[in-house]
Amino acid sequence: MPTPPYKDYADSMDAEEAQTFRRAVLNIVAQIPAGSVTTYGTIALLAGWPSHARMVGRTLRYTPEAAALPCHRVVNAVGRTAPGWSRQRELLEAEGVKFKPNGHVDMTRHLWEPEQLF
DNA sequence: AAGTTGACTTAAA
DNA sequence: ATTTAAGCCAACT
C-alpha cells in the first residue's frame, strides 16, 4: 500500500460524515462475493453518495483497513484494474474471474449486482 | 485562492 | 478498438 498523505478526515465533509461515508464503503466492499467484481460508481450509489465514485477510489487507496478487505474485487466501469497494482489481476484470476484479451475483466460475467439496487 | 489531479463515469466520434 | 470531451468532487499544489 502506498503511504501518501492520508488524513483521517475530509476537508469538505465534516469529520462525522466522512467517517460514515468511509464506513459505508468498506462495509459494502466486504460483501462482494468471491469471483465477482463491482465498480466504484456502484459502491458510491449503494453507500448513499451517488457521484462520489472518485471518493470511493480515494478511500480504498488511502484507508489502511481496506487492505484487510476484498478490495481487489473493485474495478472501474469498463473492468480495468487499479493502476500500479499488478497483483490485483492475479488475485482475481485465482478466484476464477476471466479477463478479456484487452486486459479488462469480463464484466458481463462477473459484475456484482446486489438486490439493494432494485 | 485558483488551478490541477485522480483506484471515476458517460457519451460521442 | 481508441481517443476526446465533459461532468464530477474532494484533496492537493
pTM greater than the 0.85 cutoff: yes
Measured CA A82 to C1' B9 distance, in angstroms: 15
Contact indicator for A47, A24 with CB cutoff of 8 Å: yes
Higher-confidence residue: A14 or A103?
A: A103
Statement: residue A2 has pLDDT above 70: no
Measured CA A81 to C1' B2 distance, in angstroms: 33
Measured CA to C1', what is the nucleotide nearest A63? B7
The three grid cell numbers given for residue A76, joined into one nine-digit string: 472501474
Residue nearest to nucleotide B10 (CA to C1'): A77
Classified as helix, coil or strand, A54 is helix
Nearest to A37 by CA among A101, A105, A89, A91: A105
Give the residue-averaged pLDDT of A26-38. Answer: 97
| pLDDT recorded at residue A114 | 72
Statement: residue A72 has pLDDT above 60: yes
Nearest to A37 by CA among A62, A72, A78: A72
